[in-house]
Amino acid sequence: MSFFTKQTTQKSLIKSGDEEYLARLTVKRMPDKYLQLSGKKNAGERGKSKKWIIVLVGVMLFVIGSVVAVLFLASPQQALKPKTAGSKEPKKSGLVVQNVNTNTNASTNSNVNLNTNSSINTNAAPPVNQNQNVNAVPVNINVNTNTSTPPPSEKILILLAPDADTDGLSDREEDLYLTHLRTSDTDGDGFGDGAEVLQLYDPASGSGKKLRDSNAITIYKDTRSNAEFLSPKSWKQAGSDLPISFLDISGAKVTFLSVELGTMKFEEWYKIQQGAIEFALLVPYMKEGFEGYQASDQLIYLLQGSKVFVFNYVLDSSNTLHFLTTFRMMIKSFTVTQTSS
């Protein structure tokens, strides 16, 4: 039977569904040697693929490691590299610049400037120097002027004296001027007793009588300086040389001192006696015909020409201002007679 006949027969058999044809069909199998060669070929191709994958992975790891190593090594070297004078800083990438900025934030060593707070030691300097000056005050005064003037910088609690009739004279001063303790205007002239004493009028007599003419007052004259002033007659005068003291029986006193400066300025003299700090604390004191300075309510300096006149009110043991109006009256009455050359 020819090929074409077989083809026709097969088509007709399939169409008719003849099962005998299917049984006569022969299925041929490829020999095993060819199957083994095909398997070896596939295994070789798979081996080559694995090798290429391993190579690619190795290359990628090497590249990534190199990049990381460069970045890691470059950053700390640039941050830790010391700068030398005159050297130019090389350009840095954005990442390195950021790292440098971060490192410069570590310059919180500038907080060491807080050590300047240790200058609080200078705050302790003025008290130390001041105490030294104060301690030197009595020595200088005793040597130069023989006065027992207390240091003006001594801080004590000073009490106001009782004044029963509120006339400006303390209860103890009423006895000095022979005025009434419970009457503010003893002579009835319309002026308070204290105001009259400060204006150098007799508060007990009236009729405009001057205080210097009162039986309660004495006039002190210093022939060495041609100075004079009023003081209570009941006060005891002590000392034949300067300073002169006027003592009350209570222990309070007023001292008077005159000093010839020569060519020395008052500021220079005062700083020697009391110190520069105390000089800065002086305030002006007003008195006609004099340049005046007030160190406290109890220490007054009057300047005229080359002379300095010092009035000092020393309190009694109670530290009470019993004779403040009298102290002001003595300064108010102070005069210096000019001698013809």
Show the beta-strand stretches assigned E in 131-235. Answer: 159-160, 217-222, 227-232
Asked if 295 and 153 touch (Cβ cutoff 8 Å), the reply is: no
Q: Which value, to the nearest 10 degrees, does the dihedral of the CA atoms of residues 30, 34, 40, 46 take?
A: -50
Q: Report d(CA 173, CA 324) in Å as an integer.
A: 9
Asked if 242 and 144 touch (Cβ cutoff 8 Å), the reply is: no
162: CB partners within 8 A, 6+ apart: 170, 171
CA-to-CA separations, 293 to 98, 230, 298, 304, 330, in angstroms, rounded:
67, 21, 12, 12, 16
250: left (phi over 0), alpha (psi -120 to 50) or beta: alpha
Amino acid at 48: K
Helices (H), ranges, 29-109: 32-80, 94-104
Give the model confidence (pLDDT) of 317-336 as tens digits.
999 999 999 999 999 999 99
Q: Is the pTM of this model over 0.85?
A: no
The domain spans of the chain are 20-80+94-101, 132-336
DSSP state of 81: S
pLDDT at 156: 72
User: Considering the domain 132-336 in this protein, what is its CATH number?
Assistant: 3.40.1000.10
Give the model confidence (pLDDT) of 13-51 as tens digits.
444 555 565 556 555 566 665 555 555 555 556 666 777
Nearest alpha-carbon partner for 310 in 224, 263, 242, 239: 242
Q: Report d(CA 197, CA 174) in Å as an integer.
A: 11
β-strand pairing of 320-321 with 159-160:
parallel
DSSP state of 224: T
Q: Which two tokens stand for residue 21?
A: 């044809």
Nearest alpha-carbon partner for 259 in 94, 124, 155, 146: 146
289: CB partners within 8 A, 6+ apart: 304, 335
Q: Report d(CA 166, CA 181) in Å as an integer.
A: 10
Tens-binned pLDDT, residue by residue, of the chain (341 aa): 444 444 444 444 444 555 565 556 555 566 665 555 555 555 556 666 777 888 888 888 888 888 887 787 766 444 445 554 444 444 444 444 444 444 444 444 444 444 444 444 444 444 434 444 434 334 343 434 444 445 555 567 889 999 999 999 999 999 999 999 999 999 999 999 999 999 999 999 988 899 999 999 999 999 888 999 999 999 999 987 779 999 999 999 999 999 999 999 999 999 999 999 999 999 999 999 999 999 987 899 999 999 999 999 999 999 999 999 999 999 999 999 876 55
DSSP state of 107: -
Q: Which two tokens stand for residue 197?
A: 């004493």
Nearest alpha-carbon partner for 280 in 148, 158, 126: 126
β-strand pairing of 244-247 with 253-260:
antiparallel
Nearest alpha-carbon partner for 79 in 98, 63, 66: 98
